[in-house]
A and B are shown apart, each in its own frame.
Chain A
Amino acid sequence: MAEIAEGGGGGHGKGGKKRAKKQSTRVDMTPMVDLAFLLLTFFVLTATFNKNKAMDITFPAPPEGPPPPPTKNAVTFMLTKDDKVFYYVDEFFGPESKENPPTVLTEITYAPDGQKGIRDLLKEKNKKADVLMAELEAERQRTKMADSTFKKRLNSINNKSDAVTVIIKADGDAKYRNVVQLIDELKLLKISKFVNVDMTPEEANLLKAATGTAPAAVQ
């Protein structure tokens, strides 16, 4: 280890005489080096890389006329402010509806598996399609299926009516990240049938009752 040069040692031992000690002007550089390497290490370790990723999405062409009624297995998610998510299954029945019980909105969260969150709900609804997709995947590994065949068969599984259709409705207070989070969840669960439509006034009213405030108007 480098030692501190004692320049003043020569002046010692001259008795009590006051004499200007000749001090050496050598500066020890060791702490400077420590500092430089510390800074370097700090920046190397804390530099975070801005990992931008791309999520492909294809929005469906707008429907020609009024939107078709949902198929048998449908879940509608309603996104609103404060990251809240409500949902109902299958068709919507207004409060005045006579033949069918009126729809009730249930709040739901992005809880992990087993905690009755969105993932559990969708897995439940998409059970049959999930089984078929798992079988297809196993077959692909076994027989080394071509990619195009795999994609075609995957599409046909998803287009059968018992794969769940997810309808996303966001009101004026919902944030972009809410929708991205939901679409992200759908992609993780390999649900490809989803549409993004406007809320009907009845649904907006129901949402207002559920959250306690009027949702902002959607353009």
Chain B
Amino acid sequence: MPKIKMPRGNPSLDMTPMVDLAFLLVTFFMLTASFREAETVTVITPKARSVADKELPKNAIIITIDKTGRVYFDAQLNGGNGPRMEILDSIVQNYRIGVDDKLRNEWLRSGSFGVEIAKLPEYLSKDDFNRKKMNESGLGIPSDSLHNEIGSLALYAMKIGMRDFMERRQEAERTNAPLDKETQKKIMPRICIKADFDAPYAAVKQVIKALTDKKQYHFTLITTMEQT
């Protein structure tokens, strides 16, 4: 059989599908990237080496202190909206502010806030941009001993969190599956202090005093990892 000589053509590869593939990949990663919720205030926490990579507590009452010393409060308790609404109820009851249903719904998704409790209805009625302006034009949540609002907020949240925690613990014991210490530590509500690394220590100290005045002595300081 005679050798069939293949005519030598010039091979060329159509690259269009490759581009499709590349953009598909980019789109995939863009859609599956999970975004943190938009923070009310961005804080760069100081570095610490003494803690191994420990995940953030889930049942957290977060007190944020920015670099000018303003204090913000947020509560992300287990159980989501229920406990969060109860915190608002406690605030309304003790500070006698007026919130209608619309503002209540706003509260559920508002994250952290940094204004005096008296101004909370006004804060909730604004949009994100104006809220930020309101936060930045004020002095944060008062933490001095005459107006220990941050202490009260933390206390309400802690009470609600601890009550739910006790219920869960008892429920687990009732069904003969008691929670071990590790799990208990994970689901217990904790007060977390997230302060900017340049925050004046005096502001942090005042917040801590505000909390110890309300008999809260255990805190978790949020830091970032430092390469040793």
- Residues of A near any B CB (own CB < 8 A): 2-3, 5, 28-30, 32-33, 36-37, 39-40, 50-62, 79, 170, 172-181, 183-185, 187-188, 196, 216, 218-219
Contact = CB atoms under 8 A, between A and B. Distances in A.
Interface in B1-58: 10-16, 18-19, 22-23, 25-26, 29, 36, 45-51, 53-57
Nearest to A174: B201
Contacts of B217: 58-61
Given A3-B10, A33-B15, A55-B48, A180 B200 contact: no
Given A40-B26, A50-B224, A53-B222, A33 B19 contact: yes
B50 A175 contact: no
Contact of B197 (A55, A170, A176, A196): A176
Q: Please tell me the size bucket of the interface on B.
A: 35 or more
Given A28-B15, A36-B19, A54 B221 contact: yes
A181 B11 CA distance: 64
A179 B201 contact: yes
Interface stretch (B103-111, B117-125, B203-211): B203-211
Nearest to A51: B225
A218 B202 contact: yes
Contact of A180 (B18, B23, B46, B225): B46
A175 B199 contact: yes
Contact of A33 (B18, B26, B49, B208): B18
B46 A176 contact: yes
Given A52-B222, A55-B223, A177 B197 contact: yes
B115 interface: no
Interface in B46-78: 46-51, 53-57, 65
Contact of B53 (A33, A51, A56): A51
A218 B203 CA distance: 9
